[in-house]
Amino acid sequence: MNEQRFFAVRNLHAAVEGKEILQGVDLTINPGEIHALMGPNGSGKSTLAYTLMGHPKYEVTAGEIWFQGENIVGLSPDERARRGMFLAFQYPVGVPGVPLATFLRTALKALTGKEVSALEFRKRVREEMQRLKMDESFATRYLNEGFSGGEKKKAEVLQLALLRPRLAILDETDSGLDIDAIRIVADGVKQVLGPDMGVLLITHYENFLKHITPDFVHVLYRGRIVKSGGRELADRLQEEGYDPLLAELGLVAGTAAAAGGER
pTM metric for this prediction: 0.87
Compute, in degrees rounded to 10, the torsion defined by CA atoms 180, 182, 185, 191. -100
Task: Identify the pLDDT of residue 96.
Answer: 86
Span 180-222, pLDDT tens digits: 878 888 888 888 888 999 999 998 777 788 889 999 999 999 9
- CB-CB contact of 184 with 213 (8 Å): no
pLDDT digits (tens, 9 = 90+) for 125-178: 998 888 878 888 888 998 888 888 778 888 888 889 889 999 999 988 877 777
| Burial (CB count <10 Å: 0-12, 13-18, 19+), residue 166 | middle
Name all domains of the chain by residue range, CATH numbers in brackets: 7-93+166-259 (3.40.50.300)
